[in-house]
Amino acid sequence: MDDELTTSPRPTTDPSSAPSWASTWLPPVGVFVLVRILVTIASPHWVRPWTTSATPWTRIDAFNYLDIASYGRRISVCPEKLIHFFHGHITCGTAAWLPGYPYVLRVVHEVTHLSVAASGVLVSSVFVLSALELLWVGLLRQEPRARGLLLLTLFAVFPGAVYNFAIFPNSMALFGVVGTIVALRSERFVLATVSMVVAAAAYPSVIYAFPAFLCALIVVDPTCRTKLAVAKRTCLGLLALSPYAALWIHDQVVFHRWNLFSQIQSDAGVTVFPPKNPVSIVWHLVVKRDTLTQVLQGPTASWWIAAQFAVATGLCATAAVLLWRNRRAGLNFATEVYPVLIGLSVYTGVFLSGTTGGVYRGIVIAAPAVVIFRRTTTRVLIIALVVTAVVTIGISTLYFDRTTLYNALLHG
């Protein structure tokens, strides 16, 4: 690389001198508070990091999660304007959203007697803080302190990060994905599968990470080399898709359409089979900035959406370059190669789906890829952090907060 430290040394630890409780658990709390302040710093509706106020964390799609938490998944008659826009081929209601996260909200609402909206803010905060704790305790605590904190903060402000704090399932999905990395590091394959089940139940973009997960389940275990062992491990990995099987059964019984979820997604144009034209996607998203979301939000927000896509592209591309350059440097598959594969798989899937929503929201599932920035210089790490943080602040204050809808509180 260049003149600075390119690989983080693995300090030897003395078993008799265990790290203090504060140094183990408090750094992620500090990063959590910092990032939550950053994503509301220029907001006209700034709220304290420790409150469960749903302002400004409620956005249009949050209504669907709140509705599912209150009434379950439903289908309904589509408005005329929507039917005209999609040429009549669309089903409306809340069946197009996965129920895992809303069901957690429902449980918290029943137990704590908080409103459903407040429960959403609390649940999202707990999941994102838990993801930061897992990443710190499971991986980054062994880094030199300053670099470990820089890496953790870069992970926390990855494009789409504002949705980790909102009434959206991103944080739950990210928690599950990080859980798979930490579990695979210690070769706890059943626990890794359970973690992927949690992630898959939360958010559709997780499905793009599944090939990387299945590969890691097999490669990480040095004893998994016979055909029988690979077959058994593959069957274990397939259990991570059980939330979709449960959804298919539910939708067949309740709606008499087992593929209702995927059909609605397809009707709305969200699919990677066949993939969209990548040149066209970049042209409309970055050059013309005329995707539906960008047109609706106006010229200023459209620039920030394009900028966030560019930053996500840069981070994932840099991760791929670092993986290639250090391929002979003794990379740990579970903690370095696998996170990059997650990032590249999710980025590619979200990108080729051609949906602007995936680019500025679902892309956050690719955040584990930045763990391999431990292999770059401190200078590059700081530059990546500053640029990403600026764009995340811009997105959250000039796009996200601009479209805050307060009547979501009525769902509580």
22 compared with 345, residue with greater pLDDT? 345
Inform me whether the pLDDT recorded for 191 exceeds 90. Answer: yes
Inform me whether the pLDDT recorded for 381 exceeds 50. Answer: yes
pLDDT band at 84 (very low <50, low <70, confident <90, very high): low
Examine residue 342 and state whether it is found in any structural domain, yes or no.
yes
Examine residue 113 and state whether it is found in any structural domain, yes or no.
yes
Residue 75, classed as helix, strand or coil, is: strand
Average pLDDT over residues 295-315: 88
Examine residue 12 and state whether it is found in any structural domain, yes or no.
no
Examine residue 4 and state whether it is found in any structural domain, yes or no.
no
At a CB cut-off of 8 Å and minimum separation 6, what does 375 contact? 1, 6, 7, 8, 322, 325, 326, 329, 336
How confident is the prediction for the chain on average, in pLDDT?
Answer: 86
Average pLDDT over residues 80-88: 60
Inform me whether the pLDDT recorded for 68 exceeds 80. Answer: yes
Inform me whether the pLDDT recorded for 281 exceeds 90. Answer: no
Secondary structure, 3-state, 271-325: CCCCCCCHHHHHHHHHHCCCCHHHHHHCHHHHHHHHHHHHHHHHHHHHHHHHHHH
What is the reported pLDDT for 402?
A: 54
What range does the domain containing 387 cover?
23-411
Structure tokens, 113: 């007697």
pLDDT band at 387 (very low <50, low <70, confident <90, very high): very high
pLDDT band at 411 (very low <50, low <70, confident <90, very high): very low
Examine residue 7 and state whether it is found in any structural domain, yes or no.
no
Under DSSP, the state recorded for 140 is G
pLDDT band at 54 (very low <50, low <70, confident <90, very high): confident
Inform me whether the pLDDT recorded for 407 exceeds 50. Answer: no
Q: How many domains, in total, are found in the chain?
A: 1
Please state, in angstroms and rounded to a whole number, the distance separating the CA atoms of residues 95 and 20: 47
Examine residue 9 and state whether it is found in any structural domain, yes or no.
no
What is the reported pLDDT for 11?
A: 46
Q: Give the pLDDT confidence of 25-48 residue by residue, as tens digits.
A: 899 999 999 998 888 776 655 666
Examine residue 74 and state whether it is found in any structural domain, yes or no.
yes
What is the crossing angle of helices 60-71 and 100-112, to 10°?
A: 60
| Amino acid making up residue 101 | Y
Q: How far is CA 15 from the centre of its chain?
A: 35
DSSP letters, 15-63, are TTSPPPHHHHHHHHHHHHHHHHHHTTTT-TT---TT----TTT--HHHH
Examine residue 2 and state whether it is found in any structural domain, yes or no.
no
What is the reported pLDDT for 13?
A: 44
Inform me whether the pLDDT recorded for 190 exceeds 60. Answer: yes
| Closest by Cα among 210, 175, 220 to 195 | 175
Q: Give the pLDDT confidence of 90-133 residue by residue, as tens digits.
A: 677 889 899 999 999 999 999 999 999 999 999 999 999 999 99
